[in-house]
Amino acid sequence: AQGQVVRVSGRVLDEQGHAVAGALVDIWQANALGRYAHEDDPATAPLDPNFQGWGMVKTDADGNYSFTTIKPGAYAVSSGWSRPPHIHFRISRRGYHELITQMYFANESLNDNDRLLLSVDEEARQRLVVDFHDTDGVLEGDFPIVLARVT
C-alpha cells in the first residue's frame, strides 16, 4: 500500500477498568490519497489496488488489540470543510453497548476545523487524538477504548 506505515494498538476496557476479551474491533479508513475503497465514495482521487481500506481484529484475554495500516489522507467533504486524517472504529461485544468512534492524528491542522471532532466536548476530544511516535520509520500510537456494559 502507498503511504506512511502506522501501527495502532490499545486496550478495550469496561467502565471499571477491566479488560474486555473477545471484543471485535472493526476499522475502516481512506487510503493515503483520501479515497475510500467504497462504491459510494464520490472522491476522484485514485484507489490504491494494494489497500483494501478496512479490517477487523479481536481483543486478546487482556483486552489488547493492534493492527498495522497506512496513515489515511485528508479529503474534502464540501466547500470550506476537509476532513483530517482519521480512522473509523466500531467496537462490539455481547453484553456491552456497541461504540462507533473515530481516532485522529495529533498535530494535524485540519483537526482545528473538523466539524465532527469539534462536536464533542474538549475532554472527550483529547481522548480521540493520538500522538504518534516514529519507531524505525513506523508511526506508532496507543488508542485505548472504553465500552459500557449493558445493564
Task: For residue range 63-119, list pLDDT tens digits in order.
Answer: 999 999 999 999 999 888 999 999 999 999 999 999 999 999 999 999 999 999 999
Catalytic residues: 36, 75, 83, 86, 88
The distance in angstroms from the start CA to the end CA of the chain is: 42
Q: How far is CA 48 from CA 45, 51, 95, 109, in A?
A: 9, 5, 37, 25
Query: What 3-state DSSP class applies to 130?
Result: strand
- Mean pLDDT value across residues 113-128: 95
* Type of residue at 93: R
Q: How far is CA 90 from CA 19, 115, 134, 137, in A?
A: 17, 20, 26, 28
- Mean pLDDT value across residues 30-34: 98
pTM passes above 0.85? yes
- Mean pLDDT value across residues 3-16: 98
* Type of residue at 39: E
Report whether 70 contacts 51 (CB < 8 A). yes
Whether the pLDDT of residue 3 is over 90: the answer is yes
Whether the pLDDT of residue 134 is over 90: the answer is yes
Return the C-alpha torsion angle 20, 22, 26, 31, nearest 10.
Answer: 90
pLDDT for res 89: 98
- Mean pLDDT value across residues 40-56: 94
Question: Bridge-partner residues for 75, per DSSP?
Answer: 83
Q: Provide the mean pLDDT of the chain.
A: 96
β-strands 5-14, 138-142: how paired?
A: parallel
- How sure is the predictor about 1, in pLDDT bands with cuts at 50, 70 and 90? very high
Pick from 148, 88, 143, 80: nearest CA to 114: 80
